[in-house]
Amino acid sequence: MKNVAFVFPGQGTHYVGMGLEIAKHYKEANDVYEMANDIMGMDIRKLCFEGPEEVLVKTENSQPTIHTTSIAILKVLEKYGLTGDVTAGFSLGQYSALVYGGSMKFEETVKLVQQRGTFMEEAVPNRRGKMVAIVGLSRDDIYQIVEDSKHLGYIEPSNFNCPGQIIVAGYNAAVDYANELALARGAKATNFLKVSGPFHTMLLLEAGNRLRAELDKVTVDHPKKKYVDNVTGKFYSEDEDLKDLLRKHVFKAVMWEDSVDSMLEHGIDTFVEIGPSSVLTPFNLKTAEKHGIKVNCMNVENMESLDKVLRYFDKVK
């Protein structure tokens, strides 16, 4: 469908019970979970539906379970003939976007994202790094806070989510100090992320390189859908090395606000977030608001939200 983007969430969106309702009602969704079980040699389906949370939250588990849930829900939308002209994913969500775009196969990505999670987990062991979201400050403000915190250890901006929400990450002492500076300099709020390391920083360079070795074992074609990449925040072009972009994305910032900017400039006026939670929808709305553009944003994660999306598209046909 023209002017519609299918977007996929990343790590941190998991919860026990994700995908359960839709898998109960739709064989297409349940088949994806069964496929994941067979490929992974573990009960991905049970982990998504029953947990426990302390196992699900581990990076090497949360990445394949979120990815599986997103693809399971996607299959239901496709059953109804719903499509997006453009696709993008937030960090981990890029792999779901690339499966949707015909660039990669779920049979390979579900194992690949588990490896990605393991490499990320192992990059900075013993919880020596962390991430904090800062609300209400500009990019220039954040860059200055990072500069003023560097004397305590490595730190850099890691996620540009939307106007006024930026995440910084690095070694613990530097991030703690950046949090204090942000609050002192007028931040509306800060929130430490429940993650095990300083993801999307140069501290994960080796994780990205390890991932590239695994990427070289799988097929990655040019997407058949228009695809917006997180590293650049722009539409992918065929002269770019997609495998290298995926390598870089492990240690480069998530340019989500820039990605949404690019989609809005392309004429996208409807965003459908496919996967657990509804994290991207407020980011998309706030970015559109920056431009004074009215957009339709919705998510699909359970039967209620699926029904709303189906009714919306039936109404606008």
Superfamily, domain 129-192: Malonyl-CoA ACP transacylase, ACP-binding (3.30.70.250)
pLDDT of residue 194: 81
The residue whose two tokens read 């839709």 is 22
The pLDDT of residue 196 is 81
Q: What is the pLDDT of residue 127?
A: 83
Query: So what's the pLDDT on residue 195?
Result: 83
Q: How are the residues of the chain apportioned to helix, strand and coil, as percentages rounded to the nearest 5?
A: 50, 15, 35
What is residue 93's three-state secondary structure? helix
> Which residues form the catalytic set?
91, 200
Q: Do domains 4-123+202-316 and 129-192 have the same CATH topology?
A: no
pTM (predicted TM-score): 0.96
> Euclidean distance between the first and final Cα of the chain, in Å?
10
Q: Which of 206, 250, 202, 306 is nearest to 95 (CA)?
A: 250
Can you list the positions of beta strands (E) in 107-194? 129-135, 155-162, 165-171, 189-192
Task: Determine the Cα angle at 233 with ends 229 and 104, to 5°.
Answer: 5
Residue 264 CB partners (closer than 8 Å, separation 6+): 287, 288, 291, 293, 295
**Token representation of residue 183:** 């609050």
Type of residue found at 272: V
Element holding 73 (H helix, E strand):
helix 59-79
Question: Domain spans of the chain?
Answer: 4-123+202-316, 129-192
Amino acid at 45: R
Give, to the nearest 10 degrees, the angle between helix 59-79 and helix 27-40.
Answer: 150
C-beta separation of 272 from 152 below 8 A: no
Q: How far apart (Å, rounded) are the C-alpha atoms in residues 23 and 82?
A: 18
Helix (H) or strand (E) holding 7: strand 4-8
Q: Please give the chain's pLDDT, 317 residues, in tens.
A: 679 999 999 988 999 999 999 999 999 999 999 999 999 999 999 999 999 999 998 889 999 999 999 999 999 999 999 999 999 999 999 999 999 999 999 999 999 999 999 999 999 987 899 999 999 999 999 999 999 999 999 999 999 999 999 999 999 999 999 999 999 999 999 999 988 899 999 999 999 999 999 999 999 999 999 999 999 999 999 999 999 999 999 999 999 999 999 999 999 999 999 999 999 999 999 999 999 999 999 999 999 999 999 999 996 65
> What homologous superfamily does CATH list for 4-123+202-316?
Malonyl-Coenzyme A Acyl Carrier Protein, domain 2 (3.40.366.10)
Distance of CA 67 to the CA centre of its chain: 9
Triad 17, 193, 151: Cα angle to 5° = 165
